[in-house]
Amino acid sequence: MSRALLIVDVQNDFTEGGALAVAGGDAVAAGVTRLLNERARDYAVIVASRDWHTAGESNGGHIAADPDFVDTWPPHCIAGTPGAEYDPWLDPAAVTHHVKKGMGIPAYSMFEGATDDGRAVAGILRGAGVEEADVVGIATDHCVLASARDALGEGIRVRVLTDLVAGVSADASAAALDELVGAGATLVTSGLTR
């Protein structure tokens, strides 16, 4: 049985000091690096996603000058800028597939993105015979939720590693995790030593 690790949007604009900073983002990045250092061999594939928005446009209404922080957001993760890069605490050396999403359109799930050579996440996972996935990253109540929901929709058994996710709102993050459990996901901790 093959297992994947899905690393969602651990980027500078979503960690401390970024355009849409999430408290605890740097700690998630460092924790994911520890996980990769200790257990990368446990995963058949390791997929990391990044928001990668097109500069100078609304990206399908996703970016706005006067955002509502529900459906529209200030500029973030603009392609080619430091904000779109992985957080420096995340060492991506073990990542097998890098996915970009939101190029000109709103996109929350990594399953809406593709690698630079056009491969979609669902196809990557099917090709590796993945039946189970651990999900980590940012933000619990947005892109982690969407990515884990789509993994479940692909028939993959999902575990969310709750010590390796961070959300925008505590209440919304708790609701997101409850929704995922209701859809069949399991909540576990990574078991990493601090």
Which residues does the annotation mark as catalytic? 9, 101, 143
Model pLDDT, residue 194? 59
- Report if residue 193 sits inside a domain: no
Distances (CA, A) of 166 to 14, 119, 140, 170: 10, 27, 6, 9
User: Which of 49, 21, 16 lies closest to 137 in space, CA to CA?
Assistant: 49
Q: Mark the ranges of the chain whose per-residue pLDDT is less than 70.
A: 193-194
Whole-angstrom Cα distance, residue 194 to residue 188? Answer: 16
Model pLDDT, residue 189? 96
- Report if residue 118 sits inside a domain: yes
- Report if residue 156 sits inside a domain: yes
- Report if residue 194 sits inside a domain: no
- Report if residue 162 sits inside a domain: yes
- Report if residue 48 sits inside a domain: yes
Indicate which CATH number applies to the domain containing 95: 3.40.50.850
Both structure tokens of 112: 């809406």
The domain total for the chain is: 1
pTM for this entry:
0.96
For 141, other C-beta atoms within 10 Å of its C-beta total 23
What are the b/e assignments for 45-72, b being 16+ CB within 10 Å? bbbbbbbbbbeeebbeebbeeeeeeeeb
Q: What domain range includes position 128? A: 2-188
Whole-angstrom Cα distance, residue 18 to residue 78? Answer: 12
Both structure tokens of 134: 């651990």
